[in-house]
Amino acid sequence: MDLTVALITVLVGLLVILIIYQMTYWPRKGIPHVPTIPVIGSKYVSLFFGRTSVADFSEDLYKNFPDAKYFGVTMWNQTIIILKDLDLIRDICIKNFDNAPDHRSFVDERMDPILGKNVFSLKGDRWREVRSALSPSFTASKMKFLFQLVSKVSEDFTQYLLDNPEITKLIETKDAFSRYTNDVIATAAFGINVDSMKHRDNEFFFRGKDATNLSGTKRVLKFFAGITFPRLMRFLGQTYLSKETNKFFINLIHDTVTMRDERGVMRPDMIQLLMRARDSSGIKIDMDDIVAQAFIFFLAGFDTTSTLMSFLCHQLAYHPAVQQKLREEVDEVLEDKEFSYEMLAKLKYMDMVINETLRLYPPATFLDRVCEKPFELPPALENSPGMTTDRGVTFWVNIYSIQRDPKYFPEPENFDPERFNEENKANIEPLSFVPFGIGPRKCIGERFGMMETKLVLARIIHKFTVLPSEKSTEKIEIAKNSLSLTPKGGIWLKLQPRT
């Protein structure tokens, strides 16, 4: 009985200390901050329970202190500084990168071996080693190396749509493009051929859907629990991926690498590039590292690229003049020629259309950095003091809302690719458009994502007219039960074959 009372007393004491720390942290720092609520941190934790969409969460948070360069907010036990001033963002993410070089990982390798060892989650010197070993695999020359694989998948995908006109009369584009990106990554990263349009229940697609699912209360809570209470999650033996999905990808990549080593098999894909980095970079890269990097390539490309394509086709359906101009460019560049890597560089208007879609719907709504060394911030407001950041504080850059700020993009809700023409893009404020991230931590797979997007978009525009359907609406509603920009109910369109 005495032990129980003592334990309860200790827990209550720790809770009181936590509450006092939460409630006094920002007032002690003397900077603008969102009011703190004991234990939960702030009203914004409603995101974690599916009561608001990540888009509304982003916009509501960004509207605080419109004249401040930054402000503070607490979520659970995490102290977060929301960066709003572009010069300050540059100082932290680029100029003084070593002061805050890492992401706030939602998992480490002890909790989940695959997710914990990938280049996104790695920290410090190990991140630098792996990033430098992987960077040569994502150059323009290496994209040419992978081009034929991706081109064949985009051709097969488009041909399937042509051969099955009944499904193009009403097609859920997010599902369709997820199958395309699944097949692209299966062949380009894992060295296997999958046709997810024909074989709709194949295990590779099923495991990919499971791994990239950021929807549902259970998955959302597990995501934030991994960030906020990592030691507790490790103690409870919780992994982010399901055990079956984890095992599937580990065995698949392990068997592929072992077979190629034993038989001397060479294939123009990402596994081969990772094996080459293992053998020639001078940096220790073992089987676990290859599994982790191949998987993050899958994780980053499966959902984000298919979502971009869905949003893009939706905009084309409701902006027929833009679609027609894009089609004229594609028809002119193709002229019945075979697709080539060099041909993609000529699609300038397509670049504009993709960039405008990325502005409205960036792959990640927030960018984060964790303070490693104390950093002197300037005054947040004209008459307020500056502050010294504590080690462990998280910086957030609200990409979604910055790219929709009328200060940087007039009439931001309008879809206008001309913002990115040669004349106008020179006037875009630096760091106001950063869909792939900022500085040394910028997305390593940007070139690949753009290549697979342009390839399939060119083929579809060349063969189809994209139209609204009876299930589509011009305004897209973002789902509340997802941490990504997921369209509620999907994006249903009509693909009408061109005569």
Find the Cα–Cα–Cα–Cα dihedral 7, 8, 13, 14, rounded to 10°: 70
Torsion over CA of 205, 206, 210 and 215, rounded to 10 degrees? 90
Query: Dihedral of the CA atoms 50, 371, 81, 425 (nearest 10)?
Result: -90
Cα 58 from Cα 49, distance rounded (Å): 15
CA 404, 53, 56, 83 torsion-angle sign: negative
What's the CA gap between 267 and 48, in Å, rounded? 43
Residue with tokens 């001078």: 282
CA distance 417 to 351: 9
Supply 464's token pair: 């189809």
Six-digit token pair at 366?
A: 């927030």
d(CA 131, CA 118): 10
Question: Do 406 and 390 contact (CB within 8 A), yes or no?
Answer: no
Residue 25, burial from CB neighbour count under 10 angstroms (0-12, 13-18, 19+): middle
Q: Which residues contact 351 (CB under 8 A, 6 or more apart)?
A: 420
* CA distances in angstroms from 299 to 181, 207, 211, 462, listed in the order given: 11, 11, 7, 29
467: part of which helix (H) or strand (E)? strand 464-468
CB neighbours of residue 260 within 10 Å: 16
CB atoms within 10 A of CB 102: 16
Are 228 and 77 in contact by the 8 Å Cβ rule? The answer is yes
CA angle 22, 26, 28 (to 5 degrees): 105
CA angle at residue 270 from 269 to 274, to 5 degrees? 125
Strands 394-398 and 78-83, how do they pair? parallel
Q: From CA 116, how far away is CA 5, in angstroms rounded? A: 39
Q: Is 443 annotated as contributing to ligand binding?
A: yes
Sheet holding 464-468, edge to edge: 171-172, 492-497, 464-468
Task: Tell me how far apart the alpha carbons of residues 387 and 374 are, in angstroms, rounded to a whole number.
Answer: 10
H or E stretch covering 396? strand 394-398
Binding residues: 443
Positions at the binding site for heme: 443
